[in-house]
Amino acid sequence: MNTQITIKNTLNQLNSVILGKERSVHDALACLLAGGHLLIEDVPGVGKTTLAQALARTLGLEFSRVQFTSDLLPSDLLGVSVYERGQEAFVFHPGPVFASVLLADEINRASPKTQSALLEAMEEKQVTVESATRPLPNPFFVIATQNPQDQQGTYPLPESQLDRFLLCISLGYPDRADERRLLTGQDRRSMLGAMPALLNAQTLAPLQEAVQAVHATSPLIDYVQALVAASRSGQWFVQGMSPRAALLLLRVSKAAALIAGRDYVAPDDVQAIFVQTAAHRMVPVRASGRSSAAQARAMMESIALP
């Protein structure tokens, strides 16, 4: 398998459906190659679910979609044991979480209790139901969409869950030219239905292994540590990046380098992915008056490049 050809074909297929959002598509692919989970946050109707479905179809893995609502229960997601008369025993019926790709649509419309049911799954790739621990498929990806928190009927995601999403991206409105292409082009649902799988579990694994093989020099590691230390200084954020966030930042920077066709991480890779990796994990100090993303960018720009 030629890694660069596979990556190029994957990007081309995704960009044929999601018009004019090459940066977001790139970041989504980097997240998946890095073995993380993806959160797509934006207003309704800009293509969040379409991107998630396009990713799932392109990956060619077992896929399940759950529409998160206020009455969704943890058992609706994880599964439940039901007494089977024929076997004279309780039999576990797995929920939709037992799929390689889980689309958690409008995740912040579910109650905090249901949202927290995903914590173990996202971190440990297993779930514990009725005192029994059951492994999830390998690979296991969560692609979640959420509406802005000021929308009616939404609940804020717990900080512990936000930290488990490697990236948080937004799509935004298309520009005039791309919106015209959307209006005059083929129906997106039809395109998704005809979209072939370009990857599977066997071909995805070498790509993820190639990410791990990308080299990060000592000065590059120093740069990552400088960003993490600045986030913990109290000058920019109430609470800084966790060690897990630092590890994930380096890993997704390696994925970005692989997509660019390099076997080493450049500072540009870190800068291009930093805000999407860090902003959703932290709360700006009150005096800044900035959003988390704007504050993360300002902090990043204050750190000297190696």
The model's pLDDT over 82-124, given as tens digits with 9 standing for 90+, comes to 878 777 777 888 999 999 989 998 888 888 888 888 888 998 9
175 and 71 in contact (C-beta within 8 Å)?
A: no
Distance between CA atoms of residues 17 and 26, nearest Å: 13
Q: Hey, what's the torsion of the CAs at 268, 295, 11, 253, to 10 degrees?
A: 40
Distance between CA atoms of residues 273 and 257, nearest Å: 11
Please report the pLDDT score of residue 111 as a whole number.
84
Q: What does the pLDDT average to over 150-157?
A: 68
Residue with tokens 């020099």: 217
- Percent of the chain exceeding pLDDT 70 equals 98
Please report the pLDDT score of residue 3 as a whole number.
87
86 and 128 in contact (C-beta within 8 Å)?
A: no
Please report the pLDDT score of residue 297 as a whole number.
96
Q: Say whether 158 sits in a helix, a strand or coil.
A: coil
Domain map (residue ranges) of the chain: 3-188+198-202, 214-301
The domain 214-301 belongs to what CATH superfamily? Magnesium chelatase subunit I, C-Terminal domain (1.10.8.80)
In this structure, the number of other CB atoms found within 10 A of the CB of residue 83 comes to 9
pLDDT at 254 over 90: yes
CATH fold group of domain 3-188+198-202: Rossmann fold (3.40.50)
The pair of three-digit structure tokens given for residue 253, joined into one six-digit string: 């920077």
What 15-18 contacts at long range (C-beta under 8 Å, 24+ apart), as own/partner pairs, is: 16/191, 17/50, 17/51, 17/54, 17/188, 17/191, 17/192, 17/195, 18/47, 18/50, 18/51, 18/54, 18/171
Query: What's the distance, CA 285 to chain centroid?
Result: 25
Query: Which of 10, 164, 141, 138 is closest to 64 using CA atoms?
Result: 141
Strands (DSSP E) contained in the chain are 38-41, 63-67, 79-84, 89-94, 101-105, 126-129, 132-135, 141-146, 167-169
pLDDT per residue as tens digits for the range 54-63: 988 898 888 8
Residue 199, phi then psi, degrees to nearest 5:
-135, 170
Distance between CA atoms of residues 75 and 92, nearest Å: 11
pLDDT at 150 over 60: no
Please report the pLDDT score of residue 169 as a whole number.
93
Residue with tokens 């005039």: 176
124 and 85 in contact (C-beta within 8 Å)?
A: no
Distance between CA atoms of residues 231 and 284, nearest Å: 10
103 and 56 in contact (C-beta within 8 Å)?
A: yes
Distance between CA atoms of residues 255 and 167, nearest Å: 12
